Amino acid sequence: MKKFECTGFWWIPEREDYSVAGTLHVSNDGELRLSLIGLIGSEETFSGKNRQIVLGSVDNSPSGTAVTLTGCFLTSTSAFSATGSREDYRASRAYFGAHLKVDGDFRFQSFLLKLGGLSAWAHTLSGLHREAAPLPTSKYRGQTVPLATYRVPNPLSGRLTDATITLNMGVSSKSEAEKFTFREQANFFVELDETHSVDQIEAKYVYPLRNLLTFAADAPQNVDSFVAWRTENQSDTSGNPEIRVVFPRVHPDAEGKKAEIVRKNEMLFTLADVDLVPFIEKWLRLSDIYSGAFTIFFGIQYGPPSYIDMTYTLLVQVLALYYANTKQGLEQREEEERRLKSAISVISAQDAEWIVDHIGVRPYPTFKTLLRRLIEQYGVTLDPILSKRRDAFVNQAISTLQYIERRNPEGKIAASHGSELYWLIQKIKFLIKTCILAESGFSPNKINDILLNNTLFQHLRELETEREKKQSPP
């Protein structure tokens, strides 16, 4: 999203007869900062002056002139004898296109979502075609030479559990002196069975679908646009206006850093590899079942930790949370709880309390146990980057975790450091990706094909091959 500013007049719902001038600054990351010339509402102490709703009438808005800000808190205030008082607020969310005042106004029936990477992922749906005709040189003077054509594609649509989802392709155009630009961009349009708040929509659809594109692209993707409607009748532009929702991203980009363009041939998989609606339904279900693991796994992609060993421990936590919620993991926890109860029933109460204090009432599987089981399950797929030395990989992963957690000098030699730790992290990531691909319905053969076509996986395989050659006797 490009940064922009909206200048106009602002007021609070309790005092619609009194407004002050000000400017809303919207950053690339959706950060919302409102600068006012004057005081909005009554004079209160600095610490207590927060506004749940601020309304505005502005120019240069992405949708209409009306705007609603929610979750506003005062960040600074100043007073000047010549110009009067000034206030600065930060807002949690902006709704461009309408004035929303009561709880019912903030519930929506449908929304349209544009995501980074979605157009490349849905490339098979594209209707844009470059014509085979030659460039219009002078020998074609007086003739009409077609350069491109556009065939409006049929959208893909179907039912989810409590909504209808449609994958569309939209086209926008821009003309300048001596230049015409046409842009095709994919979007998800979701019609809800019941109205939802933006918080509900974000948690249930926006964040999971953003994660889906991040996973498919194998690189972090952003929400480019989020537009919502309050009722089903979208043709009623006055009673049911298009409302563009903007809010700060949890993990903003580095200053000045542009999002990388994602190409279809660089993705793990695309629309061509899945049946859209059943796949989306399954992905949303997985996002709910493995919410803890997904939150960490995708969170460290949107906002990577400063230290590589922190990344490693977070990925270990992803595996632990994932495995604990699988059928195998749940069954193992029940069995270990049963064994624990049986064991402490024959010892003293003091010893039983000591054991429970150390491992809990329902002990989780150890990292060694869950890693061995996952490697047993997906080892064939990962063998090319493990040199078929599965036990060595498990031991290396465990030794590294123990050293990072305890920093014992005697464990330093067996642990991975530097570039070796970096490549160990990549192997753990490929294990996680394999688990997610399998849970998403991809067959073992298809997962093998996906990984073998991945550039990083190929590089890791070559590194392992070279290492094996160096270690082999002449």
Identify the band that residue 29 occupies on the pLDDT scale cut at 50, 70 and 90: confident
How far is CA 261 from each of CA 129, 220, 266, 441, 456, rounded to the nearest angstrom? Answer: 20, 11, 10, 27, 17
How far is CA 135 from each of CA 147, 179, 187, 275, 458, rounded to the nearest angstrom? Answer: 7, 15, 32, 38, 39
Sign of CA dihedral 322, 323, 328, 332: negative
Q: What is the pLDDT of residue 275?
A: 97
Identify the band that residue 244 occupies on the pLDDT scale cut at 50, 70 and 90: very high
Q: Which helix H or strand E contains 15, and what residues bound it?
A: none
Q: What is the pLDDT of residue 133?
A: 66
Beta bridge partners of 170: 185
Whole-number mean pLDDT of the chain?
Answer: 90
Q: What is the DSSP string of 212-265?
A: HHHHHHTS---EEEEEEESSS-TT-TTTS--EEEE---SSPPPTTPPPPPP-GG
Share of the chain above pLDDT 70, in %: 94
The pair of structure tokens assigned to 241 is 């206006």
Rounded Cα–Cα distance for residues 431 and 462 (Å): 18
* Of 249 and 461, more confident: 461
Domain boundaries, the chain: 4-101, 105-253+260-274, 290-471
Rounded Cα–Cα distance for residues 241 and 341 (Å): 60
Task: Compute how many other C-beta atoms are within 10 angstroms of the C-beta atom of residue 281.
Answer: 17
Q: What is the pLDDT of residue 250?
A: 62
Rounded Cα–Cα distance for residues 117 and 261 (Å): 8
Q: What is the pLDDT of residue 416?
A: 94
Is the confidence at residue 446, as pLDDT, over 50?
Answer: yes
Rounded Cα–Cα distance for residues 69 and 88 (Å): 13
Q: What is the pLDDT of residue 257?
A: 52
369-410 residue pLDDT tens: 999 999 999 999 999 999 889 999 999 999 999 999 999 888
Q: What is the pLDDT of residue 46?
A: 46
Q: What is the pLDDT of residue 234?
A: 85
Q: What is the pLDDT of residue 254?
A: 44
Interval 228-248 mean pLDDT: 91
Q: What is the CA radius of gyration of the chain?
A: 28
Interval 272-291 mean pLDDT: 97
Identify the band that residue 138 occupies on the pLDDT scale cut at 50, 70 and 90: confident
Rounded Cα–Cα distance for residues 246 and 223 (Å): 10
Rounded Cα–Cα distance for residues 239 and 234 (Å): 9
Model's pTM, two decimal places? 0.88
Sign of CA dihedral 366, 368, 371, 372: negative
Rounded Cα–Cα distance for residues 157 and 167 (Å): 6
Specify the 3-state DSSP secondary structure of 147: coil
Specify the 3-state DSSP secondary structure of 51: strand
DSSP 3-state percent helix, strand, coil across the chain (nearest 5):
45, 25, 30
Is the confidence at residue 246, as pLDDT, over 90?
Answer: yes
Q: At what angle do helices 327-344 and 308-324 cross, to 10 degrees?
A: 80
Q: What is the pLDDT of residue 181?
A: 82
Rounded Cα–Cα distance for residues 217 and 256 (Å): 22
Q: What is the pLDDT of residue 64?
A: 87
* Of 239 and 382, more confident: 382
Q: What is the pLDDT of residue 424?
A: 96
| Assigned architecture for domain 4-101 | Beta Barrel (2.40)
Q: What is the pLDDT of residue 127?
A: 84
Interval 16-44 mean pLDDT: 88
End-to-end CA distance of the chain: 57
102 neighbors 123 (Cβ within 8 angstroms): no
Interval 323-327 mean pLDDT: 95
**Position 100, amino acid:** L
Burial of 100 (0-12, 13-18, 19+ CB in 10 A): buried
Q: What is the pLDDT of residue 362?
A: 77
Is the confidence at residue 76, as pLDDT, over 60?
Answer: yes
Q: What is the DSSP string of 331-378?
A: HHHHHHHHHHHHHHTTS-HHHHHHHHHHH-SSPPPPHHHHHHHHHHHH
